[in-house]
Amino acid sequence: MSSTLTVDLGDRSYPIVIGRGLLDGNFDLNAFVRGSDCLVVSNETVAPLYYEKLCANLAGCGVNGINLPDGESFKTIATMRSILDRLVELRANRDIAVIALGGGVVGDIAGFAAACYMRGVDFIQVPTTLLAQVDSSVGGKTGVNHAQGKNLIGAFHQPRVVLIDTNTLDTLPDRELAAGLAEVIKYGAICDAEFFAWLEANMTNLLARDPDALEQAIRRSCELKAEVVAEDEREAGRRAILNFGHTFGHAIEHCHGYGEWLHGEAVAAGMIMAARLSGLPADDVDRLAALVAAAGLPTEPPAIAADAWLDAMGMDKKVQAKQLRFVLLDAIGESRVSSEYDGSRLNEILRG
């Protein structure tokens, strides 16, 4: 059984197919490969688990592979270049399809390589972490980190299809599952109070990997993301709400070395900081903190000096009020992007 959603972007619209066991031959991936060849980009952890299965779904075309080193610290231009080198070595034509098999790191790097090679070739997402299934594989943001900041180099490049086999979560470590739940909680917090309440009622089932609960959470998250992306593909406005908790979260990742705090963990602590900055009633901040804690995620950031926070958030003290924009909550399920915030409250939050 599978269900399909559509990201509605005119002639760049694409399906998100969600189901159990899709990689066990229950989906015709060949239909999305236009040419005769594809390059599967994976990593040293995921490829031994799922590469062969994926290949069995690509019997109609010539399959090539490349495995990247595993980890956020390898989300660099150098790693992306290794994919470009492989494409050149294969003498790949414009009709090659680049297929990302892995988590958000593999997806972001592979998507960026697909956006750059010959000014853009087809890209397919087969996400295998919860975070990638609910967030990074949908919406077309691709890119790599720079030593000076996260995701500083990249491109918008939408996939042709997103294939979510929820069975791949069976092998995902608990800590990574929890990190993905941070982004799931984010959707409830920014735009769906009912979903937030559903998460409160179902967190135990999600952590126990109840397949129905997981599928429901993934489907609702993808629906919400698809809706926001369809409205504002290039983040000229509303799409920025998806960055709730990320200004603080990216600063945590930057200050603590990529990979030390997982992206989802940094976002979790960042969401609570952003909720406090929003001036939400204490009861609502407590609700968010309780849900984050129930997911096994950190509710407090690590110790970072206030100056380092400001620097990592892209501002120095003199220009702070003018430049920084935060995603703030008006209530659970309602958010806005604003550069108007209480500076003294921000300082208090940063000082811990």
Ligand X SMILES: NC(=O)c1ccc[n+]([C@@H]2O[C@H](COP(=O)([O-])OP(=O)(O)OC[C@H]3O[C@@H](n4cnc5c(N)ncnc54)[C@H](O)[C@@H]3O)[C@@H](O)[C@H]2O)c1
Active site residue 239: yes
- Among 157, 239, 254, 276, the active-site one is 239
Would you call 34 a catalytic residue per the annotation? Answer: no
Q: Respond yes or no: is residue 146 known to be catalytic.
A: no
Measured from the CB atom, the residue of 42 and 278 that comes closer to ligand X is 42
Catalytic residue among 141, 160, 186, 287: 141
State the minimum distance, in angstroms, from the CB of residue 86 to ligand X. Answer: 19
Is 336 annotated as catalytic?
no
Q: Which is nearer to ligand X, 35 or 259 (CB)?
A: 259
Annotation says 183 is catalytic: yes
Q: How far is the CB of 319 from ligand X (least distance, A)?
A: 25
Question: Shortest distance, CB of residue 84 to ligand X, whole angstroms?
Answer: 19
Give the C-alpha separation, 240 to 329, whole Å.
13
Structure-derived torsion over alpha carbons of residues 135, 220, 209, 183, reported in degrees to the nearest 10? 30
Q: Residue 60, SS3?
A: coil
Residues that bind ligand X (CB under 6 A): 43, 45-46, 49, 70, 72, 75, 102-106, 108, 128-129, 131-132, 135-136, 139, 141, 151, 168, 171-172, 176, 179, 263-264
Show Cβ contacts of residue 18 under 8 Å, excluding neighbours closer than 6 positions. 2, 3, 4, 5, 133, 164, 166, 215, 218, 219, 222
Among 300, 315, 316, 306, residue whose Cα is nearest residue 351: 306
The one catalytic residue among 223, 235, 260, 334: 235
DSSP 78: H
250 is catalytic: yes
Count Cβ atoms within 10 A of the Cβ of residue 303 and give its class: 0-12 exposed, 13-18 middle, 19 or more buried: exposed
Beta carbon nearer to ligand X, 108 or 215? 108
Q: CB nearer to ligand X: give 148 or 344.
A: 148
Catalytic residue status for 246: yes
Output the smallest distance, CB 271 to ligand X, in A: 13
Q: Are 111 and 137 in contact (CB under 8 A)?
A: no
**Closest C-alpha to 185, from 135, 151, 138:** 135
Active site residue 119: yes
Active site residues: 119, 141, 183, 225, 235, 239, 243, 246, 250, 263
